[in-house]
Amino acid sequence: MNRGNVLMVVVVLLGCVWRGLWLSAGVTDSTSVADATRTKLLSQIADELKARGQVTGLQSLHRVQVLAYFDDAGFADSTVASSRSWKLDSVQRFDPDAEVWIVSGADGKPGWDGWDDNQNGTVDDLSELGAAWSDDHCLTPLDSGYEQVDPAYSRIINRGTFVPSDFESFAADHAIKTDESDRRPNSWRVTFVDQAAADSL
């Protein structure tokens, strides 16, 4: 047995030990909760589309991302997740041209304040934005402060992200038109909040 095979056996055994410890620690399997919640939320979306006169099944919504925000740690029980009442929070559409900006953090300086992060001889110049472990961060159209980004002190780090939209646009994009039956809809993300949490705000 060569060294590579021995290493592979060791890695597999360590993985088995880790999984055994994980299960014996009583960590809950939340995958079933996520699946049940996703199915419920997609059904809620399909029902709303049907109420608008659109015949839509869950299959046609398989590309829709759904995010559910729980109000407490009680989500570990799948019966709790399935019995919750969900309120639509936001509808987002993926825009391949939307800009993602990187901006300085609370210290107001690119990278680490007072450090020449990229060692180019200039401290806190724009090219240091995004230095490792600095407080610099990214802003997308979904973030507060996005409209106030100053290009002189920020830079575009990526293009393509989710942008705010509405359910009417989502419904129109999922409407079946006879002349566009093979058209692929845009990428969408729909977020929900626990109704109890929403009512308490």
Domain count for the chain: 1
- In this predicted structure, the answer to whether residue 25 has a pLDDT above a threshold of 90 is no
Mean pLDDT of the region 9-14: 89
Domain coverage including residue 115 = 3-200
What are the pLDDT digits (tens) for 150-173?
998 899 999 999 999 999 999 988
Q: What angle do CA 62, 63, 64 make, to 5 degrees?
A: 95
What torsion do the CA atoms of 167, 168, 172, 175 make, to the nearest 10 degrees?
70
Question: Across all residues in the chain, what is the average pLDDT?
Answer: 82
End-to-end Cα separation, the chain, in angstroms? 63
* Distance, CA of 178 to CA of 128 (rounded, Å): 52
